[in-house]
């Protein structure tokens, strides 16, 4: 990226292969994950220095190590949730204490699909609002990258999941995770989201409302999310796929029943190497064992990064989108 722009601003360029410094590792990339945060940085919503190489997660094989690195050696399969040089590249530099070992039984494609969205779903359902038996969770975009994982984690915790999808065609995929079809709603079928969705939630919960709403859509769903909660429920606003929520009067939280609102980000839940490794190990082990199903919906070559962004922003995706490298 040379400047903030739409997807068409993404372009390939050749540079020298970087060398790892002290405490760093050079990784040959096998696959990189596509995430909304990449589009926020590309478009200028999140400020970054330009020129900018996008990409916050991926997986590959250690090529070489810098001085002081003892935990990894060339040939090791690893993943990461943040790379020094940006993951949309053949080679990346990663700080060794931010690397995640890939366990046996997990392919590099799946390992690239998990770091950001897998650990996001984990912190949302275990830490921000720890789900338990009896909880009712409204989960947006349940056919998407975070949604598909959060639904499975919610059900595994004993909670009931109410799921939204963009279109009716995506309902079948979510039902495969264990959500009954009658607990899945396609937002495209609602004439007035702000009133219709809360009404549906209350109909499905005997007028109780949801214990927690996991909302990664933002501007278009914010009011509906507040109205879907039970008293003293929590709105977890973890993204803004439809745009950022404008300023609002905190009295709205009072009016809807003393609600809680939080705007978390993954970085604060993997702030230390210990927490990063523990959270990643839990998610990776579940995926490797088959207990956590990970759907990769679209694969694009590196030179198709613009098309990958268009697919994500157009909400045409189902499951995870990744870039693959030859």
pLDDT at residue 240 in the model: 86
Question: Which pTM value belongs to this model?
Answer: 0.91
* Structure confidence by residue, pLDDT tens digits, 21-58: 999 999 999 999 999 889 989 999 889 999 999 999 99
Task: Give the separation between CA 296 and CA 300, rounded to whole angstroms.
Answer: 11
Half-sphere exposure of 119 (CA within 13 A, CB side): 26
Q: What is the DSSP letter of 21?
A: -
Name the strands in the sheet holding 260-262, side by side, starting at the edge strand that comes first in the sequence: 184-186, 160-165, 136-139, 210-215, 229-237, 260-262
Q: Is the distance from CB of 77 to CB of 105 less than 8 angstroms?
A: no
Q: What is the pLDDT of residues 258-281, one digit of tens each?
A: 999 999 999 999 999 999 999 999
**7-114+294-324 maps to CATH 3.90.180.10:** yes
pLDDT given for residue 208 in this prediction: 96
Nearest to 147 by CA among 158, 161, 136: 161
Question: Is there a contact between 53 and 20 (Cβ–Cβ < 8 Å)?
Answer: no
Q: Where are the domains of the chain?
A: 7-114+294-324, 117-266
Per-residue pLDDT of the chain (326 residues; tens, 9 = 90+): 999 999 999 999 999 999 999 999 999 999 999 998 899 899 998 899 999 999 999 999 999 999 999 999 999 999 999 899 999 999 999 999 999 999 999 999 999 999 999 999 999 999 999 999 999 999 999 998 899 999 999 999 999 999 999 999 999 999 999 999 999 999 999 999 999 999 999 999 999 999 999 999 999 999 999 999 999 999 999 998 898 899 999 999 999 999 999 999 999 999 999 999 999 999 999 999 999 999 898 999 999 999 999 999 887 667 789 999 97
d(CA 101, CA 94): 13
The CATH number of the structural domain formed by 117-266 is: 3.40.50.720
Whether the Cβ atoms of residue 56 and residue 119 lie closer than 8 Å to each other:
no
């Amino acid at each position: 990226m040379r400047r903030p722009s739409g997807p068409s601003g993404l372009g390939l360029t050749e540079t020298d292969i970087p060398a790892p410094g002290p405490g760093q590792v050079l990784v040959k990339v096998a696959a990189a994950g596509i995430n909304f945060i990449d589009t926020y940085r590309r478009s200028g919503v999140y400020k970054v220095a330009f020129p900018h190489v996008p990409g916050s997660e991926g997986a590959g094989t250690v090529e070489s190590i810098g001085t002081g690195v003892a935990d990894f050696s060339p040939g090791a399969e690893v993943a990461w949730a943040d790379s020094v040089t940006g993951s949309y590249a053949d080679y990346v530099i990663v700080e060794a204490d931010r690397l995640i070992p890939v366990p046996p039984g997990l392919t590099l494609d799946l390992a690239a699909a998990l770091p950001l969205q897998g650990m996001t779903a984990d912190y949302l359902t275990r830490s921000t609002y720890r789900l338990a038996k009896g909880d009712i969770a409204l989960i947006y975009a349940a056919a998407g990258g975070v949604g598909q994982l959060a639904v499975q984690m919610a059900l595994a915790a004993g909670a009931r999941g109410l799921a939204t999808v963009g279109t009716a065609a995506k309902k079948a995929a979510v039902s495969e995770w264990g959500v009954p079809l009658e607990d899945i709603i396609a937002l495209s079928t609602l004439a007035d989201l702000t009133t219709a969705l809360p009404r549906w939630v209350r109909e499905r919960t005997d007028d109780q409302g949801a214990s927690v709403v996991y909302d990664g859509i933002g501007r278009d769903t914010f009011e509906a999310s507040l109205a879907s909660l039970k008293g003293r429920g929590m709105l977890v606003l973890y993204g803004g796929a439809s745009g950022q929520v404008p300023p609002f009067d905190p009295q709205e939280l009072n009016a809807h029943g003393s609600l809680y609102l939080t705007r978390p980000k993954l970085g604060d839940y993997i702030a230390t190497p210990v927490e990063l490794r523990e959270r990643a190990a839990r998610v990776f082990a579940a995926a490797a064992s088959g207990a956590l199903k990970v759907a990769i919906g679209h694969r694009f070559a590196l030179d198709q990064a613009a098309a990958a962004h268009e697919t994500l922003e157009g909400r045409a995706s189902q499951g995870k989108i990744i870039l693959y490298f030859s």
